[in-house]
Structure 1
């Protein structure tokens, strides 16, 4: 087997990279260890930055996004039993769109010229520092293959095999594990508010989001050692109502749960994001705490730059952008890590009384200062192409 770019991983990063490359005439083959149904059914984040939406439209992927995506022009910060709206469009001229990651993946699979190779196993990357790299794998029918290529794109997530193909002596991994987790639910009930709500409460953080006019996505800050069986549906709804409550008209209407789980909170960056002819993108290279809604958008920013760099190299012999890919993207990654960590610190309840007072001071600054609100809004919507 032969291709120009072997893409390991059929998440949004890998699928979008292959799509963008094919639009430019670069051949790509996508390998994925999970089955098709699993890939299409994974429920993930769904807040798209302004630049992400523009790129998807330019790539011919905007039809369903424009029909069912929910464009938002602001979001709410709740604390001290009051609602404080951050008017994103008024402050930045940009908006965000709520559109589930699984919907983006579905659009990409349906738009693909050739189906990704689902259900592969025993994936091994070979000779990544040579000009003849390859990927060995076993297909879903048990047949062994070697996929020869010019470049390998590692888009297989935090626990994938791509990053481990870089020798430990050549890789620096920086990580922060936060002392709390998120309990998330997806419920069949209409959203209680037309925009996202980020709530800072003495009992902990809460987030009100949505996936559609009939599906609501909600999160609670919980301890890292919490067990799902200790959280009945009734307890979850009671705690959400308590933390999201304000003085005024607001009612959270419980509904049947479609999904329920606990997610640990971490930040992670691997440096560099390129080793020879292996390029990392998405969660294979970095993880951000979900508070700032940057995970999917960072993956899109990665492949936007990588697709252009590989096109210039493989079609036109210009390798400069490919060689500088890691340095360029790490600047954007660290900006996102900084913003996501600051949002996390501002909104979550800390065990440290000093930190709790700092959080309130930050929130009150955003609520009372146009300059502080503008800085927050610019980071949230993605103020520049590589942010």
Structure 2
């Protein structure tokens, strides 16, 4: 067995693991990343693209923001359409000048991979049989297999950035973790296309036929979604059928401008809210989807993961640069405060904007719940203080102070 040693072992080379690794390396804190899939697969995954200011700040601190600022697009607002009536939430007005950045997660991942490669930082792709050992001791280590060779990676700390299905969360004994989950009775059918966006800001649309979202990745690439039943199959939807349904759900004047074309990617994503408590186990720290999942309504998944990364990074700097290892014990408590606030916002937005009339899983019947949520949406859309509450949460709550 080949022996390796580092300060921080990072499990997972998605944007969370790569961002944490880059931030730590900038501070001279050694780290090694272990990833179960190939670099090409990681680089090609299509995910969300709306970044809170806190996420932008972290990418700047990591030294990987040049292309984002050159090619990304600052959004100072977004729209909610309620049965065809359009409301604009002016982020700049209601948050004192804050905004969000439209820049795809695929691009962020590629930027981070390039930066890691440029610095010759160690990453093991296509690793198998990854096991986290002795996490509750002062001497944790990771064993894995690479190209038929067995490895043992000794470390001070382990950052579990390997997603919902990874090994990190499963390392915490079942009896020592509590998992909270809400599975929604619908999914999102999404299409990515090389067509100009129908609008220069996002439009979240509530319609009697179901929810729709008009989003974008660039001036020439669009991302659209429609609500579908959980039983729906992607193969049942031709491109023409998708575009026809999307047009019916968008406000009329918007639908008239919609440019359609062949889909680059088409998939159905289930919606769920999920949180694992605690987010740390000894010297193992869960980051991003390993600890929590949010429904995509409100674009919080990547941003919440970035908040975890920023917090863990600051605590590790305290540990190594200020000789305060006790600071590491506060990670879960600090992270979970923001996690639950963000989960609540995504849950609330999902409840308000989706069609629940046929839902049989809620505490009240779907039709009644639908009436409640219509009243909720009308209440917030009809007053400045309601719009301000939505705007403040959309641009992102403050990151935890350390």
Question: What is the TM-score normalised by the length of structure 2?
Answer: 0.94
2:30 pairs with 1:27: yes
Q: Secondary structure of the residue that 2:218 maps to in structure 1?
A: coil
The answer for unaligned runs of 5 or more in structure 2 is: 358-365
Pairing 1:284-363 to 2, within 5 Å after superposition: 284-351=290-357, 352-363=366-377
Pairing 1:157-236 to 2, within 5 Å after superposition: 157-236=163-242
Q: CA deviation at 1:316?
A: 3.0
Cross-structure match for 1:154 = 160
CA distance in 2 between counterparts of 1:74 and 1:37 reads 34
Q: CA deviation at 1:250?
A: 4.2
Q: Secondary structure of the residue that 1:266 maps to in structure 2?
A: strand
Q: Is the 8 A contact 2:247 2:255 kept in 1?
A: no
CA distance in 2 between counterparts of 1:246 and 1:360 reads 20
2:273 pairs with 1:270: no
2:21 pairs with 1:18: yes
Cross-structure match for 2:104 = 100
Give deviations 1:146-181, integer Å, cap 9, x for gaps.
000000111000000011111111111111100000
CA distance in 1 between counterparts of 2:169 and 2:159 reads 10
CA distance in 2 between counterparts of 1:152 and 1:15 reads 14
Give deviations 1:99-127, integer Å, cap 9, x for gaps.
11111111111111225211111100111
Q: Secondary structure of the residue that 1:236 maps to in structure 2?
A: helix
CA distance in 2 between counterparts of 1:249 and 1:263 reads 23
Q: Secondary structure of the residue that 1:162 maps to in structure 2?
A: helix
Q: Is the 8 A contact 1:29 1:116 kept in 2?
A: yes
Cross-structure match for 2:72 = 69
Aligned residue pair count = 386
The more displaced of 104-113 and 50-59 is 50-59
Q: CA deviation at 1:58?
A: 2.4
Pairing 1:121-140 to 2, within 5 Å after superposition: 121-139=128-146
Q: Is the 8 A contact 1:17 1:307 kept in 2?
A: yes
Q: Secondary structure of the residue that 2:167 maps to in structure 1?
A: coil
Question: What is the TM-score normalised by the length of structure 1?
Answer: 0.97
Cross-structure match for 2:93 = 90
CA distance in 1 between counterparts of 2:326 and 2:108 reads 30
CA distance in 2 between counterparts of 1:138 and 1:248 reads 52
Q: CA deviation at 1:383?
A: 3.3
Give deviations 1:321-365, integer Å, cap 9, x for gaps.
310100000000000000000000000000212222222222222
CA distance in 2 between counterparts of 1:35 and 1:82 reads 46
The more displaced of 173-182 and 364-373 is 364-373
2:370 pairs with 1:364: no
CA distance in 2 between counterparts of 1:99 and 1:47 reads 6
The more displaced of 112-121 and 274-283 is 112-121
Cross-structure match for 1:258 = 264
The answer for unaligned runs of 5 or more in structure 1 is: none
CA distance in 1 between counterparts of 2:235 and 2:62 reads 43
CA distance in 2 between counterparts of 1:330 and 1:276 reads 17
CA distance in 2 between counterparts of 1:247 and 1:104 reads 33
Q: Is the 8 A contact 2:23 2:61 kept in 1?
A: no
CA distance in 1 between counterparts of 2:207 and 2:311 reads 39
